[in-house]
């Protein structure tokens, strides 16, 4: 794990303020869960959400699949997930190390949302190679929130304001944006930057890793300027 990724994991393992209030946090995860659930191929499917974050509404995904594994590198995040979903029998909370030891062809769908921007190219390749091993031959790698080149941070700010206006937390979003400028998140983002890919770069990168990939019509979540890709293992 690179030092930059360690810093990001430590940030998300802390009492961070990435969400402007509880409503923002709740609707963010509700929207993601609803959109991910649409990609579950069947009620018999096994799904991995890798780098899942707080995944407050993961039970909505679990309701349409047979098994859901939630993986996150932050220990406190995993602890909260275990407590939240202890009565949902088809949800398992696991560490990245546990995922790396799983048998090949374990999953029909692997979700990797809003993580690629924190990884070096080498780290991304290593994880995508793991996903290719874990996916069934007809499985799908759902890669969300890929940040394109030359998309300014202000676009994220406008997206948050639109999201807030549509979900009843516009004033909190406005205040939160001001607070973000002075937050640990912004300092970390300024220091480390984000890894960015064009559509062509990402599809070519995935092909080299053994996937046939295409951009989805829309991105998962509310950030319209970012990209989601659907990738399937290429038969060997």
110 near 132, Cβ under 8 Å?
no
Q: Record the pTM.
A: 0.93
As its CATH architecture, domain 3-233 has: 3-Layer(aba) Sandwich (3.40)
Residues 201 and 149: their CA atoms lie apart, in Å, by 10
CA distances from 154 to 70, 110, 129, 225 (A): 31, 30, 33, 11
Q: Whose structure tokens read 């759902």?
A: 142
Q: Where are the domains of the chain?
A: 3-233
Q: What does each of the 236 residues of the chain score in pLDDT, given as a tens digit?
A: 676 677 677 777 766 667 888 999 999 999 999 999 999 999 999 999 999 999 999 999 999 999 999 999 999 999 999 999 999 999 999 999 999 999 999 999 999 999 999 999 999 999 999 999 999 999 999 999 999 998 887 888 888 889 999 999 889 888 877 776 666 676 777 776 789 999 999 999 999 999 999 999 999 999 999 999 999 999 87
Residues 200 and 196: their CA atoms lie apart, in Å, by 12
Q: What length is written for the chain?
A: 236
DSSP strand E in 21-90: where? 46-50, 67-71
């Amino acid at each position: 794990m690179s030092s930059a990724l360690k810093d990001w994991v430590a940030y998300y393992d802390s009492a961070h303020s990435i969400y402007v209030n509880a409503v923002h946090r709740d609707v963010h995860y509700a929207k993601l869960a609803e959109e991910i659930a649409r990609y579950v191929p069947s009620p018999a499917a096994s799904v991995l959400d890798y780098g899942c974050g707080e995944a407050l509404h993961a039970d909505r995904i679990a309701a349409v699949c047979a098994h859901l594994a939630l993986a996150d590198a932050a220990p406190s995040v995993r602890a909260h997930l275990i407590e939240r979903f202890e009565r949902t029998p088809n949800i398992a909370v696991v560490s990245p190390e546990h995922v790396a030891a799983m048998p090949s062809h374990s999953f029909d769908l692997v979700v990797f949302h809003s993580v690629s921007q924190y990884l070096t190219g080498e780290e991304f390749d290593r994880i995508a190679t793991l996903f290719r091993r874990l996916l069934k031959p007809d499985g799908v790698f759902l890669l969300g929130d890929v940040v394109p080149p030359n998309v300014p941070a202000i676009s994220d700010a406008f997206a948050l304001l639109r999201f807030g206006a549509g979900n009843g937390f516009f004033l909190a979003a406005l205040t939160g944006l001001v607070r973000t400028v002075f937050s640990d998140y912004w300092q970390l983002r300024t220091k480390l930057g984000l890894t960015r890919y064009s559509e062509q770069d990402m599809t070519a990168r995935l092909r080299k890793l053994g996937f046939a990939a295409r951009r989805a019509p829309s991105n998962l979540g509310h950030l319209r300027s970012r990209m989601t890709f659907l990738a399937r293992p290429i038969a060997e």
